[in-house]
Structure 1
Amino acid sequence: MPELPEVETTRRGIAPHIEHKQVADVIVRQCKLRWPVCEDLAAVLAGQTVKACRRRAKYLLIELETGLLLIHLGMSGSLRVFSDGCVPPPGKHDHVDIVFSDGVTLRYRDPRKFGAVVWYEGAEEHHPLLEKLGPEPLGDEFDAAYLYGRLKTLKRAVKAVLMDNNIVVGVGNIYANESLFRAGISPKRAANRVTKKEAALLVAEIRAVLQRAIETGGSTLRDFVDSEGNSGYFQQEYNVYGRSGEPCRQCGTPVEKTVIGQRGTFYCPSCQK
Structure 2
Amino acid sequence: MPELPEVETVRRGLQPVMEGQRIASVETRRHNLRFPFQKDFVGRLEGQTIVGMGRRAKLLMAELSSGDVLLMHLGMSGSFRVVKHAAATSPGHFHHERSADRAHDHVVFHMASGAIVTFNDPRRFGYMKIVPHSELEAESFLRGLGPEPLSNSFDAAVLAAGCAGKKTSLKAALLDQRVVAGLGNIYVCEALFRAHLSPKRQASTLALRSGAPSDHARRLVDAIHTVLNLAIEAGGSSLRDHRQTTGELGYFQHSFRVYDREDEKCPTKGCKGTIKRFTQNGRSTFWCPTCQK
Q: Structure 2 unaligned runs (5+)?
A: 90-99, 208-213
* In 1: Cα distance, 2:49 partner to 2:127 partner: 21
From the superposition, tell whether residues 270 and 132 of structure 1 become closer, same or farther in structure 2 (CA, over 3 Å): same
Change (3 A) 1:200 1:131: same
Equivalent runs, 1:223-242 vs 2, <5 Å: 223-242=241-260
| Cα offsets for 1:103-135 (capped at 9, x unmatched) | 111110100000011111242223221121110
Residues 87 and 105, structure 1, Cα contact 8 Å, conserved in 2 = no
Distance in 1, matches of 2:133 and 2:256, equals 40
1:128 and 1:171 map into 2 onto residues whose CA distance is: 18
Distance in 1 between residues matched to 2:118 and 2:144, nearest whole Å = 29
1:68–1:121 CA contact under 8 A, matched in 2: yes
Q: Deviations over 1:73-122 (max 9, x none)?
A: 00000011112433699811000001111111111010000001111124
Q: Partner of 1:219 in structure 2?
A: 237
Q: After superposing the two structures, state which structure 1 stretch, 52-61 or 115-124, moved more.
A: 115-124
What's the counterpart of residue 80 of structure 2? 79
Aligned to 1:14: 14
Question: What SS is found at the alignment partner of 1:165?
Answer: coil
The reply to whether residue 182 of structure 1 matches residue 194 of structure 2 is yes
Deviates more, 1:157-166 or 1:98-107: 98-107
SS for the counterpart of 2:278 is strand
Name the CA distance, whole Å, in 2 between partners of 1:46 and 1:194: 48
Look up the equivalent residue of 1:5 and give its one-letter code: P
- Measure, in 1, the Cα distance between the counterparts of 2:290 and 2:40: 57
Instruction: Find the residue that maps to 1:106 and give its secondary structure.
Output: strand
- CA offsets, 1:208-260, max 9 Å, x none? 10000000111112011010001111111111101111111112411111122
AA aligned to 2:108 is D
CA separation in 1, counterparts of 2:218 and 2:102?
47
Cα separation, 2, equivalents of 1:218 and 1:39: 34
Match of 2:172 in 1: 160
Structure-2-length-normalised TM-score: 0.90
Q: Which residue identity lines up with residue 184 of structure 1 in the other structure? A: H
- Tell me the percent identity: 44
Q: Which residue of 1 aligns with 2:44?
A: 44
Aligned letter for 2:54? Answer: R
Moved over 3 A (4+): 87-90
Question: After superposition, what is the alpha-carbon deviation per residue over 1:149-190, rounded to whole angstroms, capped at 9, x for unaligned?
Answer: 222210100000001000101111100000000101000111
Q: Is the 8 A contact 1:157 1:260 kept in 2?
A: no
Give the Cα–Cα distance (whole angstroms) in 1 for the partners of residues 88 and 162 of structure 2: 48
Q: Which residue of 2 aligns with 1:266?
A: 286
Moved more, 167-176 or 186-195: 186-195
Alpha-carbon distance in 2 for matches of 1:266, 1:75: 21
Pairwise CA RMSD: 1.5
- In the superposition, the TM-score normalised over structure 1's length comes to 0.96
